[in-house]
A and B are shown apart, each in its own frame.
Chain A
């Protein structure tokens, strides 16, 4: 596609439910990143995929968070047993090669009630 696509754009869920957020990166981009942005805050790194290498999960805040990237393209971020503090905008970004600029999607606004 022309840009990084994320779905859904908005997700409202109840505390304790599981959610899945999807990211479709720019075709051909090997690097994919997930960041989280709370209201008025900076971007908090969550997880990084590069090609077929093992992902860097060092930013995941708890074991309730997981992500996968199938076929080196689409990525899914899963949050289990959501908590109110998980409410934030989840941003996905991709880049063509290492140390290149990041292209961000429009994000998924997650609200946990």
Chain B
């Protein structure tokens, strides 16, 4: 079975500051890792994903995430945030070869202040 823990429910940050949203996971099998963003009153949009290869993956809107196998983490980062980055961010895992059963974290609310 898999589980996903997003360590911060809310992250307030000032505009142009760096941000890190933390995600740890637990799984008995290898997994694919994802970050999704949900803007107010919208559905979820895929930000980035880790399938294999380089542990640093870059996504849309200047976000990147680093896969750390030993720490079973997949933290999301952005060096300089904008007001428009205010949204809910979800970390998710899908077991490799396990069909389409995806487990989502509880979400982190990023609030960017002027």
Q: Do A and B truly interact?
A: no
Which residues from chain B sit less than 8 Å from chain A, CB to CB? none
Which residues from chain A sit less than 8 Å from chain B, CB to CB? none
